[in-house]
Structure 1
């Protein structure tokens, strides 16, 4: 054990005096007194070594640790954030920081008793972290990164899917205009997942032109005017969290299968008198055969053959009998064909039967010609086989007769 220098000096003097006394006893004292003296000296030295002051190896009591700041309660947060018209300036924009407590309590998060600090874990003191210095989108992105783990802790599957979506991949490139969680889901007042008829308005916050076009299409009008459950909204084709990039070759090559999800479903198409043979008739012709081959063998390679959207449109799909754009009208269809076949004449579209199989009602001439050949070709082949068989038989018989003679 370590001792102070002054203590070591005093101990040495004590030991020196004891030894001097022992020497004197050794010369004139009785032997038994000498033994008692030595024992006493050793006891004194031992007692001193254990009771003296010490430093160094003795660990001081730990200093009191400063406790981490407690999480603020909702009432503490609302002491400021319930104030009306609480605005934060972010560049040239302003953000309303006022929270309507009653509305929040009626939201899906409020009903689940999600506390402010559950999401805003970094807001544990005042002043809060300064996210407002780099503009509105940078402010939103800073909040997004600060609360991202909170979203993941409850919405694990959705967050995992979003990590591979085009929005998150765009954010990672430094483009912070891409959608973040709170751009689609209001974190304070969301009552539930958006209804299917509300999805276009959510997407319109960023994709306003595309959403406006969609709302005028046959799909959009049926959804918004009738709340028709059979028509697709944005996420049916694009996905919701794991959104794929529609500009990629893979997405384009997959469009026929994407459209086929609905257009080969008889329970949907029969309501509207639409053929469910769209995929079969498409892949049976040279356009679809090529695209299908690319999709199955080399989905990353582009093809110059048309897919569904090249003829029908994407967000601006109209009824086939629409006077301006419907491809049931020969003039409109010819315009579509001439995009790839600029020399196509007025009769060029007559070779296409609009995804329908020939029948007595649709394309009767083609139907009866096909029907004729269904009988004519087997009859011709069967007649030839009968002729060959009878000829071989006759020759064999004649040869046998000649051998007998």
Structure 2
């Protein structure tokens, strides 16, 4: 049958419901396939209950959702792990509430090297001492701190992808209340995003961010799982000697003189490096003044040309009338 014959006698408005129905059927089939893939890996049938959005429990802090998205699970980096690879407390008559510390320990059963580094980091040390303010694995590896939505580190949607790292660190380090609690007054995220590195990373494509700008974000200077406190003698940003070595990873031969030009995350102000601050203010105002005067002169020139053009037309019109 020719394609034309198939639609003979069928106005388009009558075919639209059929087309929409076919599209919905395809979408439902794809969703069913995704769910089926998740259920295939769920040998303990956990999703039989946990796929229900309404599943929850009560604890001392209120209602806690027990819902697990089959779609997120199937797309995650852990999609080939069975639930009980992490949730080993089954059957769950025994209550083992998940904490930041127990989560890190659980991740360490597979990621032993990373967990060992984490224990030596400022985050890991504080966490071991019971401080729940610091970051644990899912705070960095998941956009919503959900272990079921962790994706591979070099996926463009990953919170650990080079272009996304600054925003990931900002979840804590751009929180004024949390930072003031620990005496950190520098606006680290804002100062980074105003720097060349931050602007270059923001404007780069995903491919460029990995291939050419992978030395320009938080973790390249501060480390990843082994992040130290900035004043720790072993930290890569502690002291000019260490900072120079860190800069030399991207800027060969940078040296101490080069590194000393970096203000850290402090920004110049009238009381801190006033020459730098007022120099910046001068060029800020001067540049805008030059642009404003230039724009005004162009406007006058356009106006003069317009008036002259109109006057010439009027003059020609009068000459023709005469």
TM-score between the two structures when normalised by the length of structure 2: 0.63
Q: Which runs of 5+ in 2 are unaligned?
A: 1-38, 52-66, 298-322
Q: In structure 1, what is the equivalent of residue 100 of structure 2?
A: 196
Tell me if the contact between 1:338 and 1:344 (Cα under 8 Å) persists in the aligned partners. yes
Tell me the distance in 2 between the aligned counterparts of 1:253 and 1:187: 39
Q: Does 1:235 align with 2:138?
A: yes
Q: Does 1:163 align with 2:163?
A: no
Offset at residue 264 of structure 1 (A): 0.9
Q: In structure 1, what is the equivalent of residue 82 of structure 2?
A: 180
Q: Deviations over 1:1-41 (max 9, x none)?
A: xxxxxxxxxxxxxxxxxxxxxxxxxxxxxxxxxxxxxxxxx
Offset at residue 362 of structure 1 (A): 3.8
CA, structure 1 residues 248+164, in 2 after alignment: closer, same or farther (shift >3 Å)? Answer: closer
Q: Which runs of 5+ in 1 are unaligned?
A: 1-141, 172-178, 389-405
From 174, 178, 181, the counterpart of 1:264: 174
CA, structure 1 residues 264+376, in 2 after alignment: closer, same or farther (shift >3 Å)? Answer: closer
CA, structure 1 residues 370+328, in 2 after alignment: closer, same or farther (shift >3 Å)? Answer: farther
Q: In structure 1, what is the equivalent of residue 47 of structure 2?
A: 152
Q: Secondary structure at the match of 1:211?
A: helix
264-273 or 353-362: bigger deviation: 353-362
Offset at residue 361 of structure 1 (A): 5.1
Q: Secondary structure at the match of 1:248?
A: coil
Q: Secondary structure at the match of 2:265?
A: coil
CA, structure 1 residues 361+211, in 2 after alignment: closer, same or farther (shift >3 Å)? Answer: farther
Offset at residue 248 of structure 1 (A): 3.4
Offset at residue 328 of structure 1 (A): 3.7
Q: In structure 2, what is the equivalent of residue 215 of structure 1?
A: 119
Offset at residue 271 of structure 1 (A): 1.6
Q: In structure 1, what is the equivalent of residue 19 of structure 2?
A: none
CA, structure 1 residues 362+212, in 2 after alignment: closer, same or farther (shift >3 Å)? Answer: farther
Counterparts in 2 of 1:3-14, with a 5 A limit?
none
From 210, 233, 247, the counterpart of 2:154: 247
Offset at residue 191 of structure 1 (A): 1.0
CA, structure 1 residues 271+361, in 2 after alignment: closer, same or farther (shift >3 Å)? Answer: farther
Q: In structure 1, what is the equivalent of residue 253 of structure 2?
A: 343
Tell me the distance in 2 between the aligned counterparts of 1:260 and 1:362: 24
TM-score between the two structures when normalised by the length of structure 1: 0.51
Counterparts in 2 of 1:50-61, with a 5 A limit?
none
Q: Deviations over 1:185-210 (max 9, x none)?
A: 12125514411121111111111111
Alignment RMSD (CA, Å): 2.9
Q: Deviations over 1:318-344 (max 9, x none)?
A: 011111225141111111100011121
Offset at residue 273 of structure 1 (A): 2.4
List, as ranges, runs of 4+ consecutive aligned residues in structure 1 with deviation greater than 4 Å. Answer: 142-145, 368-371, 374-378
Tell me the distance in 1 between the aligned counterparts of 2:245 and 2:273: 22
Tell me the distance in 2 between the aligned counterparts of 1:194 and 1:367: 48
Higher Cα Rg, which structure: 1
Q: In structure 2, what is the equivalent of residue 304 of structure 1?
A: 212
Tell me the distance in 1 between the aligned counterparts of 2:186 and 2:211: 25
Q: Secondary structure at the match of 1:158?
A: coil
Tell me if the contact between 1:256 and 1:307 (Cα under 8 Å) persists in the aligned partners. yes
Tell me if the contact between 1:291 and 1:303 (Cα under 8 Å) persists in the aligned partners. no
Report the number of matched residues: 226
